[in-house]
Amino acid sequence: MTLWLVVPAAGRGRRMQADRPKQYLPLAGRSVLELTLQRLHQAFPDAELRLCLDSDDAWFDADCVPFSRWQRVDGGQERVETVRRALTALEEEAAADDWVLVHDAARPCVPVADLQALHAALDDEAIGVLLAAPAADTMKRADERGRVSHTESRDDLWHALTPQAFRFDLLRQALDAALATGAAVTDEASAIEAMGLSPRLVRGSRHNLKITHPEDLAMAANILSVQAQTDTGAASASDTSFPQRGVSA
Ligand SMILES: Nc1ccn([C@@H]2O[C@H](COP(=O)(O)OP(=O)(O)OP(=O)(O)O)[C@@H](O)[C@H]2O)c(=O)n1
Ligand SMILES: C[C@](O)(CO)[C@H](O)COP(=O)(O)O
């Protein structure tokens, strides 16, 4: 069975306020996109990649792609549309029950061990899986004045990370339904949840941050440096205070 990797890299990175889309910003001597693709390739060297880029992308250099089997796909206006377009590009080739693993280009620090743990969690999985990290801070709900309305319990609250992996046909149906209803879908799991299904949470490292705001670049550089010193990019970089990896949803 083919493992399909979909990497959405068609965003503009507006919150980053940089001179280029954030996936092309330099980080540890490479671009964010190149680092992300390297991590994926370390874990899944034989996978087929669909790399989603803006049709007007002027920054992409194909030399940064380590995969031997890959294709470029034009992205959409929103991330959900980008991922849906990648599935359209797979329609001729993917089997209904093939796994499609979606990973943000903007997450270059994902540990290879977390990628492997996520993949292992697909064994005997009926619905699908996502990397996630437990909420660590006290959570406040704001009111319309920007004041605290109340404190939310953080019990059972998780940060959704990527990769997220679902079977091709189920993901296609879920994204189509979300697009048809205009539901707010910021990750693949929320589209699956809207179908009444419960994806499995797989505990991942808090190192797997999404580069979103300007200060995130320095944090990512520090994480990569720590991972290089401790070899935890390639091995396990999970927060040692949260040793459990697989968690039932
Ligand atoms: N239309 C879009 C929007 C986002 N993405 C990708 O989805 C990932 C996560 O999205 P986000 O962090 O929101 O990226 P941007 O949309 O680029 O950022 P912003 O919202 O700040 O503009 C990124 O790898 C981004 O390139 C995409 O492929 N297509
Ligand atoms: C997919 C994602 O990275 C999971 O955290 C996230 O939902 C993307 O969200 P954004 O709204 O595009 O920042």
ipTM of the complex: 0.98
DSSP character at residue 23: G
pLDDT over 90, % of the chain: 90
For all residues of the chain together, what is the average pLDDT?
93
Question: What's the fold here for domain 3-133+159-247?
Answer: Spore Coat Polysaccharide Biosynthesis Protein SpsA; Chain A (3.90.550)
For every residue of 65-104, DSSP letters joined together read ---SSEEEEE--SSHHHHHHHHHHHHTTT--TT-EEEE--
Q: Minimal CA–CA distance to 53: which of 86, 99, 19?
A: 86
- Using an 8 Å Cβ cutoff, are 54 and 21 in contact? yes
Q: Which atom of ligand 1 is nearest to the CA of 16?
A: 21
Q: Given this model, what pLDDT does residue 124 score?
A: 87
Name the residue with the closest Cα to ligand 1, atom 4.
11
15-40: per-residue pLDDT in tens? 999 999 999 999 999 999 999 999 99
155-213: per-residue pLDDT in tens? 999 999 999 999 999 999 999 999 999 999 999 999 999 999 999 999 999 999 999 99
SS3 177: helix
Residue with tokens 């969690």: 121
Q: Given this model, what pLDDT does residue 235 score?
A: 53
Distance 65 CA to ligand 2 centre (A): 23
Residue with tokens 């599935």: 87
User: At residue 245, does pLDDT exceed 80?
Assistant: no
Element (H, E) at 185: none
Choose one of 161, 210, 211, 213 to mutate for the ligand 2 pocket test, by most ligand atoms within 8 angstroms of C-beta: 210
Q: Which ligand is nearest to the CA of 84?
A: 1
